[in-house]
Amino acid sequence: MSHRKGPPHRPVSVGSVTVGAGHPLALIAGPCVIEGEDHLLGVAERLQEICGRVGIPVILKSSYDKANRTSLASFRGPGIKRGLEFLRRVREKTGLPVLTDVHDVSQVTLAAEVVDALQIPAFLCRQTDLLLAAGQSGLAVNVKKGQFLSPGEVPRVVEKVVSTGNHRLLITERGTSFGYNNLVVDMRALPMMRAIGYPVVFDATHSLQLPGGTGVASGGLREYVPHLARAAVAAGCDAIFMEVHPDPDRAPSDGATMWPLGELEALLQSLLRISAAAQDR
């Protein structure tokens, strides 16, 4: 089943998964941060099983380091060396395409040797040298739109990556700052950014963060993930980004917004039904 039509743009391949016009709705999912190799492999295998049953292509996402944390005491992950080795082995064992964050130019070459796509975190989306280095890697690049940017400012971000000759670009909407400790999602941003000429992803979990909302960590409104994800698919996004976990309430990072793996299959089925209905418009 092909995804519904929209403004022409370049589909982007990430390993065996192609995201964009003429291709099925895709999923980018995994735990917020790598908690260990066995944990990551377990999540990856469950994702592969669920997505295979539902019929949705999936890209595994996890971070070796969460550099932007509310508190100095917050868990950051295993670090780049061990984290990339875990990602390498899980990628080899499952065959899933893998995406991870890079936070600094020095990390790009190391990560590019292991993963299929590099992700630019929202707070770093205007860092010119980082965008250029990611583009020069030749890999697919997923840029998260900063909470402080309007859709009209995104073309300037896109120009930096494509100036390297790399057009393998995804743009992710993850909410916009709305006062203190709150985000809102303007669904108009999805068709606006899609019209730039590249596939658009909707981050259904980070869009429901309450940044710094507990004082020592970010809070979140996980119960609204299905509502925003369904709305984004109806609005024509090309992929859904969703951090998932077997037990989000015990997760060391972003537990308040991660979606429980045990509830993922039913949600994906509803998203695919909406995607199919949207094609008939």
pTM surpassing 0.85? yes
* CA pair distance 42, 16, nearest whole angstrom: 21
- How high is the pLDDT of residue 3? 46
Region 31-44: what's the mean pLDDT? 97
Domain boundaries, the chain: 12-273
* CA pair distance 51, 67, nearest whole angstrom: 30
**Could you say which of 1.10.3720.10, 3.20.20.70, 3.30.70.20, 3.40.190.10 is the CATH number of the domain covering 12-273?**
3.20.20.70
- How high is the pLDDT of residue 281? 44
- How high is the pLDDT of residue 5? 47
Q: What is the pLDDT of residues 186-238, one digit of tens each?
A: 999 999 999 999 999 999 999 999 887 666 567 789 999 999 999 999 999 99
Residue 32 or 215, more confident: 32
Alpha helices in 60-127 (DSSP H): 80-94, 105-112
Provide CB contacts within 8 A for 191, sequence distance 6+: 6, 7, 235, 236
Region 129-158: what's the mean pLDDT? 97
Residue 261 or 216, more confident: 261
